[in-house]
Structure 1
Amino acid sequence: MIKNTMVRDLPEQERPREKLIAYGVQSLGNAELLAILLRSGTKEASVLRVAENLLSLYKERGLASIVNLSAVQLSRIHGIGPAKVATVLAAVELGRRIAQEPSKKKIVINGPPDAADYIMPRLKYETKEKFAIVLLNVKNQVLSFRIISVGILNASIVHPREVMAEALNNSAAAIILAHNHPSGDPAPSGDDIATTRRLIKAGQIMGIEIADHIIVGGNGYISFKEQGLMR
């Protein structure tokens, strides 16, 4: 636990901003990075203490839980007012957008690990279950990423017509199915397997390959292809 020492009382080389400039951003801990965003603490608590108080509230779920904090939740923390709330939320959203920014170079999916690397930043922080598809051309290059539905995955909310329409409209040769489990456990449910098989059959009729189904949960994933479930 960081002692309640005011930043101004620290040696200059140990102050977060000065430390970042001198040694690089990688040299800072999470609380120090947050302290730079928050800029100041209160009369009773240093900015480092306020930052650590924020982190400690969500320590069981990890740093990534900050991505889903609302303005109301942040403002409940003593020492974080409207201006600091806006700064933290803006920084988090910039980080999210950077992670999802498509590369100018065409992304090629050569197997489940490549698919997971592409899909996880787009779904891992979602608090609702979302079903998406990755559309590929004949060279396995990514054409686009589309959210098809929001809600518990079952045949009633994921219709083959919607999935195949996206593929046809984008001239896709193959599709990777993807969805997230907000619970953190990527293990497929019976509905996950049934829906996948239904879409595989539809793809066979339309001449569009369903290459894999990636389920994202927490920091892990499950590939139907790796698990032998693509049949």
Structure 2
Amino acid sequence: MLTTQSIMIKDYPQNERPRERFIINGPQSLSNHELVAIILGTGTKEESVLQLANRLLAEFEGLRLLKDATLEELTKIKGIGQAKAIHLLAAVEIGRRLASHTHEDRYVIRSPEDGAKFLMNDLKYLSQEHFVCLYLNTKNQIIHRQTVFIGSLNASIVHPREVYKEAVRRSAASIICAHNHRATRS
């Protein structure tokens, strides 16, 4: 096993590099400093990105204080310019938004009318047939909406595989399928 002392990322064996381990084993297999290193992207001439990430986390005593760091505080650290600081702050903000996201602001379907009301404005003026699925959680809240197929003027052919694939991917408890009937004029 190589140590991080003055070893650059390119000197690491391929299977020990953070990006490659992320691809093979997933993000949960990486330490905090390895995840921060991926966000930073590169180190400096004097130290690898892993060393820079370690130093950054040491400066802020881990992720807990890093989440409150300012652009100015980050750019004071040698090796962290404005671009790297912005990448870090953007990642922190995404995490903050995900953590504060509640399911209470999701639209709830209690009746067929609720489903129709949710979709009607988007579907009524389309020039082609659209097959749309709403994927719901156990509380009948919409967790995802997807146009599965766009057909011709008066037909929309959909394979069930396409409907269920997304349901499984989203761990949906139920599905509502809808399509618009395109009115034709003679």
TM-score under structure 1 normalisation? Answer: 0.43
1:75 and 2:75 correspond: yes
Q: Structure 2: state its 5+ residue gaps.
A: 107-186
Corresponding residue of 1:125 = none
1:63 deviates by: 1.7
State the 1:105 CA deviation: 8.2
Q: How does 1:13-24 map to 2 (within 5 A)?
A: 13-24=15-26
1:91 is aligned with what amino acid?
Answer: A
The equivalent residue for 2:95 is 95
Q: Distance in 2 between matches of 1:105 and 1:87?
A: 28
Query: What do you get for the CA RMSD once the two structures are aligned?
Result: 1.7
Q: Distance in 1 between matches of 2:84 and 2:47?
A: 15
In structure 1, the residue matched to 2:52 is 50
Given residue 53 of structure 2, which amino acid in structure 1 is its aligned partner? A
- 1:9 — aligned with what? 11
The partner residue of 2:27 within 25, 28, 33 is: 25
Following the alignment from structure 1 to structure 2, what is the Cα–Cα distance between the partners of residues 51 and 31?
5
Distance 1:105 1:73, change over 3 A: closer
Bigger radius of gyration: 2
List structure 1 segments (4+ residues) > 4 angstroms apart after TM superposition.
none
User: What is the number of residues matched between the two proteins?
Assistant: 104
TM-score, structure 2 normalization? 0.53
Q: What is the CA deviation profile of residues 101-144 of structure 1, one whole-angstrom value per residue up to 9, with x for unaligned ones?
A: 111588xxxxxxxxxxxxxxxxxxxxxxxxxxxxxxxxxxxxxx
1:84 aligns with 2:77: no
CA distance in 2, matches of 1:97, 1:53: 26
Q: Could you say what secondary structure the match of 1:68 adopts?
A: coil
Distance 2:39 2:23 in 1: 15
1:87, distance to aligned residue in structure 2 (A): 0.3
User: What do residues 59-115 of structure 1 show as CA deviations (whole Å, max 9, x unaligned)?
Assistant: 2xx421111000000001111111101100000000000000111588xxxxxxxxx
Is the CA contact (8 Å cut-off) linking 1:16 and 1:32 kept in structure 2?
A: yes
Gaps of 5+ in 1: 107-231
Take 1:23 and 1:73, find their aligned partners in 2: how far apart are those partners? 33
Structure 2 distance, partners of 1:72, 1:81, is: 10
- Distance in structure 1 (CA, Å) of the matches to 2:105 and 2:82: 39
Decide whether the 8 Å contact of 1:2 with 1:52 is kept in 2.
no
